[in-house]
């Protein structure tokens, strides 16, 4: 039972006792410019009782001060009753926090799928948002008591992969990551761009020869070759498979290096080359259940007009799969593999329609798990010039961006000149920690569904509402704790008076579990980011006004050590939910 609920019950009882009405009492934190901790808004009573606000407020306030074990004072402004709780109450709240009860396990399994890269090009800034979101949401769900499995579905086959392969076959000359000095994913990405360039030239040549554009796009030799290669791949042609394995192998080496660098990983990896044929039996099932229907050309469809959607193809006339066919199959597979209660797809909002269709079909098929499916849709990361397009080379490359961030982090750290006693390894670790802290926080502090703008000309900040600000705050606290000479920081048994800044900190600290719960319910790391920022900011304000180690009263000194230790713990835990590490020193 938290303090807010207890207080709300007391207020409710007071209203009932004084005015004989049952009100649904909702409290809100008192705004900073007023005295008090919680505010009860009672305009409703003013109206129903037809009595003056001042009179009602005073009656309630007096009643609570005399009867409540919590309330020590109050003031009334119009229809607002501001209640101040006794310092003793806040100390009790803090003691309970320090005891550190864990959130109860929910005994529910959740599968979170994210990253899901294509193996024809390196990761870019948009993928980073996806990876950080997926990782963070997984951590948040774990913290909220769910049993989480993190999955990645690698898009390792299809016409786009064949394009890189065609270009490599023509222009590769046996180039390898070793011979070129390029990371494997960048090398393959280079050939994907090469394909596009050559293909466009071919189209122009054909059009110059009098062919219509539509026809030229289909007839261009490279496109013909890629189509043929896809067929050969599906027929297990040894030469094609060998080439495919070679290029994909390079890409995986590159991806793994990137994942390692950005601190992202998975519990389970699915490959589309293993799963792309799944789903055809579900189409058969749907036909038998009468959920799907067949057209004259043998293609299979579903009518979703009753859901406000359209008629949707689920299997081609020639019997081959489309995207939705595969997803029906892999979704069944995922629920079979993990028996999860919920499955979350972290995928960009460009696929909103696809997931609506997918979930609608699952529901019509009577899948019991359909209600547990959720598309965590997030907005694109745009550049000032517009959308990132990998074929046109207008992307912010993930590896390059991370390296730039590390270089910036290094430059700023050196400029601050506070790294005495760091070993070279510790310095490298710090540069990376701060760089990734800045980048991850930047991408996660915005509500997922909102699209966001990234201006490469303006580097990501290290001051203000940023990851490094919070990391710095943590380092500051840890520094004080180290210098105190103690190893643990219990709450003193006797403590009487608190200053407002201390109450502010306790007030925030008690909300941590609630914020985690809300972030889990809404799949929103932004809530965590905002909360941790608020806590760090509040601490820094406290820090400038009150000393910990130089405090004359020993009791107060111990109390503050205990308080700021809790602050640093919550900062570390909260940042951990964002996938961000915090340093002991910086």
> According to CB under 7 A, which residues from 536 to 565 bind RNA?
537, 540-541, 543-544, 546-550
483 binds RNA (CB under 7 A): yes
465 binds RNA (CB under 7 A): yes
**Pattern 96-135, binding to RNA, x per CB under 7 A?**
----------------------x-----------------
Q: Is 55 in the site for RNA (CB under 7 A)?
A: no
Q: Residue 110 CB, nearest distance to RNA (Å)?
A: 22
Distance in Å, CB of 271 to RNA, minimum: 12
Q: Distance between CA 498 and CA 93 in Å, rounded?
A: 13
Tell me which of 3, 10, 30, 194 binds RNA, using CB under 7 A.
Answer: 30
Task: Give whichever of 153 and 340 is closer to RNA, judged by the CB atom.
Answer: 153
- Give min distance, CB of 573 to RNA, in A: 19
Let me know if 239 is exposed, middle or buried by CB neighbors in 10 A (0-12, 13-18, 19+): exposed
Q: Which of 174, 209, 210, 308 binds RNA (CB under 7 A)?
A: 308
Site for RNA in 279-298 (CB under 7 A): 295, 297
By CB under 7 A, the residues from 396 to 415 that bind RNA are: 409, 412-413
Sign of CA dihedral 93, 95, 100, 106: negative
Minimum distance from CB of 276 to RNA (Å)?
A: 7
Closest CA to 337 of 426, 257, 268, 284: 268
Look at residues 75, 63, 70 and name the one whose alpha carbon lies nearest to residue 30: 75
Which residue of 17, 21, 26, 389 would you call a contact of RNA, by CB under 7 A?
Answer: 26
Q: Which range in 23-31, 88-96, 107-115, 393-401 contacts RNA by CB under 7 A? A: 23-31
Which CB, 313 or 396, lies closer to RNA?
A: 313
Sign of CA pseudo-dihedral 107, 336, 140, 452: negative
Site map for RNA, 342-381, x if CB under 7 A? -------xxxxxx------------------------xx-
Nearer to RNA, 182 or 495 (CB): 495
CB 222 within 8 A of CB 159: no
If binding is defined by CB under 7 A, does position 478 make contact with RNA?
Answer: yes
Q: Which of 343, 347, 356 is nearest to 126 (CA)?
A: 347
Specify the residue, 350 or 403, whose C-beta has the smaller distance to RNA: 350
Closest distance to RNA from the beta carbon of 495 (Å)? 18
Interaction of residue 242 with RNA, rule CB under 7 A: no
Q: What is the 3-state secondary structure (H, E, C) of 2-25?
A: CHHHHHHHHHHHHHHHHHCCCCCC
Residue 258 as a binder of RNA (CB under 7 A): the answer is no
Pairing, β 373-378 against β 381-382: unpaired
Question: How many whole angstroms separate alpha carbon 79 and alpha carbon 56?
Answer: 9
The C-alpha angle 139, 145, 147, rounded to 5 degrees, equals 75
- Looking at beta carbons only, is 19 or 323 nearer to RNA? 323
For residues 525 and 131, the answer to whether their CB atoms sit within 8 Å is no
Assign 399 to helix, strand or coil.
helix
CB of 297 to RNA, least distance (A): 5
CA atoms of 220 and 190, how far apart (whole Å): 20
- Does the protein bind RNA through residue 423 (CB under 7 A)? no
Of the residues 6, 8, 77, 427, which one makes contact with RNA according to CB under 7 A = 77
CB atoms within 10 A of CB 521: 12
Please state whether 19 falls in left (phi above 0), alpha (psi between -120 and 50) or beta.
alpha
Q: How many CB atoms lie within 10 A of CB 176?
A: 13
Among 2, 16, 29, 212, binds RNA (CB under 7 A): 29
- Residues 396, 238: Cα–Cα separation, whole Å: 36
CB nearer to RNA: give 44 or 490: 44
Residues in region 155-174 near RNA by CB under 7 A: 155, 158-159
Residue from 37, 39, 248, 258 binding RNA (CB under 7 A): 39
Does 586 bind RNA (CB under 7 A)? Our answer is: yes
CA dist., res. 60 & res. 80, Å (int): 11
Could you tell me the smallest distance in angstroms from the CB atom of residue 180 to RNA?
27
Nearer to RNA, 148 or 225 (CB): 225
Distance CA 520, CA 357 (A): 25
Burial of 455 (0-12, 13-18, 19+ CB in 10 A): exposed
* Identity of the residue, 174 or 487, whose beta carbon is nearer to RNA in the bound complex: 487
CA 194, CA 171: separation in Å to the nearest integer? 8
Q: Tell me if residue 491 falls in helix, strand or coil.
A: coil
Binding residue for RNA, selected from 461, 513, 517, 569, defined by CB under 7 A: 461
Among 114, 255, 462, 489, binds RNA (CB under 7 A): 462
Q: How far is the CB of 339 from RNA (least distance, A)?
A: 26
């Amino acid at each position: 039972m938290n303090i807010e609920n207890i207080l709300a019950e007391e207020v409710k009882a007071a209203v009932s006792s004084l005015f004989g009405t049952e009100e649904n009492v909702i409290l809100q934190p008192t705004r900073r410019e007023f005295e008090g901790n919680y505010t009860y808004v009672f305009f409703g009573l003013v109206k129903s009782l037809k009595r003056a606000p001042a009179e009602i407020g005073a009656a309630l306030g007096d009643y609570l001060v005399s009867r409540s074990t919590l309330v020590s004072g109050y003031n009334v402004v119009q229809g607002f009753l501001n209640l101040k709780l006794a310092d003793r109450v806040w100390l009790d709240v803090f003691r309970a926090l320090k005891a550190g009860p864990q959130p109860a396990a929910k005994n529910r399994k959740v599968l979170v799928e994210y990253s899901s890269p294509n193996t024809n090009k390196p990761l870019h800034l948009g993928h980073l948002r996806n990876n950080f979101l997926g990782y963070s949401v997984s951590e948040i769900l774990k913290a909220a008591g769910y049993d989480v499995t993190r999955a990645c579905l690698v898009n390792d086959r299809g016409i786009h992969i064949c394009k890189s392969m065609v270009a490599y076959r023509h222009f590769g000359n046996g180039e390898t990551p070793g011979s070129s000095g390029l990371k494997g994913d960048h090398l393959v990405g280079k050939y994907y761009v090469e394909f596009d360039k050559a293909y466009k030239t071919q189209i122009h040549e054909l059009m110059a020869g009098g062919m219509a554009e539509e026809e030229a796009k289909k007839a261009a030799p490279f496109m013909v070759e890629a189509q043929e290669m896809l067929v050969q791949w599906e027929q297990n042609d040894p030469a094609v498979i060998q080439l495919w394995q070679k290029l994909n192998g390079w890409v995986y080496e590159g991806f793994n290096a990137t994942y390692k660098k950005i601190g992202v990983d998975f519990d389970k990896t699915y490959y589309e080359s293993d799963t792309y044929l799944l789903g055809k039996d579900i189409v058969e099932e749907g036909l038998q259940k009468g959920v799907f229907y067949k057209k004259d050309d043998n293609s299979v469809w579903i009518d979703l007009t009753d859901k406000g959607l359209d008629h949707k193809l689920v299997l081609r006339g020639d019997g081959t799969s489309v995207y939705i066919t595969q997803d029906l199959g892999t979704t069944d597979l995922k629920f079979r593999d993990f028996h999860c209660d919920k499955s979350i797809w972290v995928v960009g909002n460009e696929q909103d329609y696809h997931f609506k269709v997918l979930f609608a079909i699952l529901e019509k098929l009577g899948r019991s798990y359909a209600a547990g499916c959720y598309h965590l849709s997030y907005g694109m990361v745009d550049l000032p010039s517009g959308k990132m397009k990998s074929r046109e080379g207008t992307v912010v490359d993930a590896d390059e961006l991370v390296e730039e961030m590390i270089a910036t982090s290094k430059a700023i750290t050196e400029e601050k000149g506070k790294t005495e006693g760091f070993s070279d390894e510790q310095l490298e670790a710090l540069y990376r920690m701060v760089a990734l802290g800045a980048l991850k926080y930047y991408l996660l502090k915005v509500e997922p569904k909102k699209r966001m703008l990234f201006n490469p000309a303006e580097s990501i900040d290290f001051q203000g509402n940023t990851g490094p600000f919070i990391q710095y705050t943590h380092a500051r606290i840890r520094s004080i704790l180290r210098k105190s000479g103690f190893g643990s920081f219990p709450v003193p048994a006797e403590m009487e008076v608190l200053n407002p800044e201390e109450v502010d900190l306790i007030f925030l600290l008690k909300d941590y579990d609630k914020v985690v719960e809300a972030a889990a319910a809404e799949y929103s790391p932004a809530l965590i980011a905002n909360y941790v920022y608020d806590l760090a900011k509040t601490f820094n304000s406290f820090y400038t006004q009150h000393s910990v180690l130089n405090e004359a009263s020993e009791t107060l000194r111990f109390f503050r050590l205990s308080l700021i230790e809790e602050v640093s713990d919550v900062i570390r835990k909260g940042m951990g939910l964002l996938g961000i590490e915090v340093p002991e020193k910086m």
